[in-house]
Copies of this chain bind each other. A is one copy, B any other.
């Protein structure tokens, strides 16, 4: 799990990574794939879409296991890396 950095949003630690794209349509496709992942897990990241990049931050605000970067956040960050590779065009 590379290039995920710890950031704080709303007083809660998150794992954050910026993914770069040359085409807006590609960043939008990745965004929607991550949104699908979020809905499946009922755990929603902070996502910033700008021209050229999508920045994703995973953190838990409140849960029985506490707040901050929990196991589910690390799992979903790793799944984002896998999803990014999976969506890459082969040629």
Q: Could you tell me which A residues sit within 8 Å of B by CB distance? A: 24-25, 28, 31-32, 35, 38-39, 44, 46-51
Copies of chain A in the complex: 2
The 5 A-B pairs at the shortest CB distance, nearest first, are namely: A44-B51, A47-B49, A46-B50, A48-B48, A28-B35
Q: Give the CA-CA distance A44 to B38 in the complex, in Å.
A: 24
Let me know if B32 and A44 touch, CB within 8 A. no
Report the minimum CB–CB distance from A58 to chain B (whole Å). Answer: 12
B24, B35, B47: which contacts A39 (Cβ < 8 A)?
B24
Let me know if A48 and B46 touch, CB within 8 A. yes
Residues of B within 8 A of A47 (CB): 48-50
With CB as the reference atom, state the residue of chain B lying closest to A61: B51
Residues of B within 8 A of A51 (CB): 44
With CB as the reference atom, state the residue of chain B lying closest to A28: B35
